[in-house]
């Protein structure tokens, strides 16, 4: 009997997360786990050409081999650019602080 792996596939939405636990044969890939999870059918907005995927928060390729107890994660596209958000927060902070440098806009 081939060795079986226990794999979790997770897709986090703003309000909840979908978690599917699977048993897959040793030698299975990240893509095979995603396909077997059924999440692509439940969430047609997932586009593996655009959505990044990872294993335990490390970006991964679809053909990466899985190990027992790996957690495959499907990431949603960012709604806001983190650099832009930091820039806006820094600009707001300059205006709020008294004497924090030049408060005129750029």
- Kindly state whether residue 62 falls inside one of the protein's structural domains: yes
Please compute the mean of the pLDDT values over residues 76-87 and round it to a whole number: 76
- Kindly state whether residue 15 falls inside one of the protein's structural domains: yes
Q: How many domains does the chain have?
A: 1
- Kindly state whether residue 91 falls inside one of the protein's structural domains: no
For residue 79, pLDDT over 90 is answered with no
- Kindly state whether residue 47 falls inside one of the protein's structural domains: yes
- Kindly state whether residue 101 falls inside one of the protein's structural domains: no
Strand-pair partners of 25: 4
Place of tokens 């806001």: 80
Sort 10 into a burial class: Cβ within 10 Å, 0-12 / 13-18 / 19+: middle
* CATH code, domain carrying 64: 3.10.20.30
- Kindly state whether residue 88 falls inside one of the protein's structural domains: no
CA distance 106 to 70: 47
Q: Is-contact 68 33, C-beta < 8 A?
A: no
- Kindly state whether residue 64 falls inside one of the protein's structural domains: yes
- pTM metric for this prediction: 0.73
Quote the percentage of the chain above a pLDDT of 70. Answer: 84
CA distance 10 to 74: 6
**In which domain, by residue range, is 68 found?**
4-74
pLDDT digits (tens, 9 = 90+) for 33-43: 999 999 999 99
- Kindly state whether residue 81 falls inside one of the protein's structural domains: no
């Amino acid at each position: 009997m081939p060795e079986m792996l226990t794999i979790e596939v997770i897709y986090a939405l703003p309000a909840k997360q979908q978690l599917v636990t699977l048993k897959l044969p040793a030698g299975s890939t990240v893509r095979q786990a995603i396909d077997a999870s059924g999440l692509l059918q439940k969430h047609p907005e997932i586009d593996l050409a655009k959505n990044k995927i990872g294993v335990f928060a490390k970006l991964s390729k679809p053909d990466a081999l899985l190990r027992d107890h790996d957690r495959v994660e499907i990431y949603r596209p960012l709604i806001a650019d983190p650099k832009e958000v930091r820039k806006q927060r820094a600009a707001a902070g300059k205006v709020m602080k008294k004497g924090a440098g030049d408060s005129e806009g750029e």
